[in-house]
A and B are shown apart, each in its own frame.
Chain A
Amino acid sequence: MADNLFTISGLKLSLPDMTRKPVFGAAPQIEILKGIDFQVPRNAVTGIVGESGSGKSTLGRAMVRLLEPTEGTIVFDGLDLTHLGENELRPHRRNLQMIFQDPMSSLNPRRTIASIIAAPLRQYGLTDNIDGRVKEALDRVGLPQSFAKRYRHEISGGQRQRVGIARALALSPSFVLADEIVSGLDVSTQAQILTLLERLCRELGLTIAFISHDLSVVRRLCEQVIVMHNGTIIEKGSTKAVFDNPQQPYTRSLIDAIPLPEPDPLWLAPDAS
């Protein structure tokens, strides 16, 4: 067990369905996660793949306890997080960090980059040599020191995502959730962020849950993978096993649908399937 940072069992989570909310009264609950079991090994990247509506983002938010599960347990580093309240969670938050999909919206427009990176440090009382720590965090993600005084609208999309990574790593957390962190970026920027993440994983031995719809990226980056569909896990295992020899038709259909950057007139030909 010691090599698993997260052990998630029987996880169910329901949210109110606002699209079906009656004029008076509460919205009906809709079950987003329908019983999820899996482990996240330490010092490795675990991919969570699936299409929209598969529940992958909800699962991620439950892991860092932005959402509270309805059933099941989430054990993180030997501690049951499932129903901890905000105050009980606070000491553990520094070990449960997150990088967001939209780097624009995840940075407060009225704060400087330095202040954004320093916020979690201040919150946990790491105020000695705070400038040095911010400097180190910027260095780590390859941003020049001059960025400390800038605002989010003064830097590019890729640079914003670097700031998001720097903030998540500032507290040296034992776990980082990365939610579709390259899907909004241009190809060239995406490659920069991916190589940065690969380097950081190598150097710092990070434990990451990497949520993505892009199998090409997941296959590069992740050691383990779970494939989600409609609130359940369809297939899980080592990336190599799952992608080299997918057992489930759904996984195969996901792989078949990837448009490889190679011309192939047959790919779009109507077929029997």
Chain B
Amino acid sequence: MTDCLAITNLSATLPDGQRLLRSVNVNVAPGEVRALVGESGAGKSMLSKAVLGVLPVSVKIVEGDIWLQGNDLGRLTAAKRRQAVAASIALIPQDPLTALNPSRRIGPQMTDRLVKILGWDQTRADERVRTLLDEVHIRDGERVLRAYPHELSGGMRQRVLIAAAFAAEPKLIIADEPTTALDVTVQKQILRLIAEMQRLHGTAILFVTHDLGVVAKISQNVTILYGGMVVEEGAVDQLFANPQHPYTRALLAATPRYTDPEASLLPVDQSVLSDLAKAVETADRDWMSSHGG
């Protein structure tokens, strides 16, 4: 079966030649929830921006391909590419407040994408949005559709955005730290909701996060990034039970565990980080020599 998303050997650079993504390979199978994990600067948001085609102007993809549903996005014209992305990818953003236009009601904001970009007619879109609000357990859907974003709580706004993301039946959802700004109790509800919706619709999810706890709960497979490089990947059970890479082991050892407060917390060892820095350097040198400087 074709992968829903296949990123092969992707490298992206700044104008001065510094690589932000270093020959990254990530595959997302249909219906799979894959976590993309890394600390700040690991390149996880750069990678999701590359897929969505919203990289900053100064960042250029210099090598590698992004295959979406078997289509090579690099070969499409900009307009075709936007269309392909809009038709099969949706985004659940990190900050549910800034992702909504504060001066417009929720209803039209939810149907806009369906009507204006995907060409649905308005009644069908309205109906679809109502069904989806039901699915995300919003009981007073009519009130929510008429509300302005600031009239809803953070958790409610995130529910609305989840409903909007699933509305067009995308093949892939990129969830960009969707619970980072939320309180733990709300986070649990939202994670549960994302999992439930994912099962219901069979959508593949690329779940970007820095929180290993969230990774363990939501995903089936994990890709760990450091410095724009894939450090380790694997099934979530195996990765947590038997991490292979020293960096993964160090990250797990550095995470405080509620159930084990006495366990000594081990800050990531300097030798692990210097080994990683060396690996980055070697990778860059090899890459430079194979690309003629």
Contact = CB atoms under 8 A, between A and B. Distances in A.
Direct touch of chains A and B (CB < 8 A): yes
Interface of A: 51-52, 157, 186-188, 190-192, 194-195, 213-217, 219-220, 253-264, 267-268, 270
A220 B191 contact: no
Interface stretch (B128-136, B157-165, B213-221): B213-221
Interface of B: 39-40, 183-188, 191-192, 195-196, 210-218, 236-237, 240, 250-259, 261, 265-268
B267 A259 contact: no
Contacts, number: 104
Given A187-B251, A188-B250, A263 B185 contact: no
A188 B39 contact: yes
Nearest to B184: A257
Contact of B257 (A261, A264, A268): A261
Given A215-B258, A261-B240, A263-B237, 10 more contacts: A186-B210, A187-B39, A187-B251, A188-B39, A188-B250, A253-B185, A254-B184, A260-B216, A267-B217, A270-B192
A267 B240 CA distance: 16
Given A191-B254, A254-B184, A256-B188, A263 B236 contact: yes
26 contacts: A186-B40, A187-B210, A188-B250, A190-B254, A191-B256, A191-B267, A192-B268, A194-B256, A194-B265, A215-B258, A216-B258, A216-B261, A220-B256, A253-B185, A254-B185, A255-B258, A257-B184, A258-B184, A259-B184, A259-B188, A259-B214, A260-B257, A261-B240, A263-B240, A270-B192, A270-B196
Given A191-B267, A270-B196, A259 B261 contact: no
Name the prevailing secondary structure of the B interface residues. Answer: helix
A52 B183 contact: yes
B212 A187 contact: yes
A268 B216 contact: no
Contacts of A268: 191-192, 195-196, 217-218
A191 B266 contact: yes
Nearest to B195: A268
B250 A260 contact: no
Contacts of B268: 188, 191-192
Contacts of B258: 215-216, 219, 255, 258, 260
Most buried by B among A254, A255, A262: A262
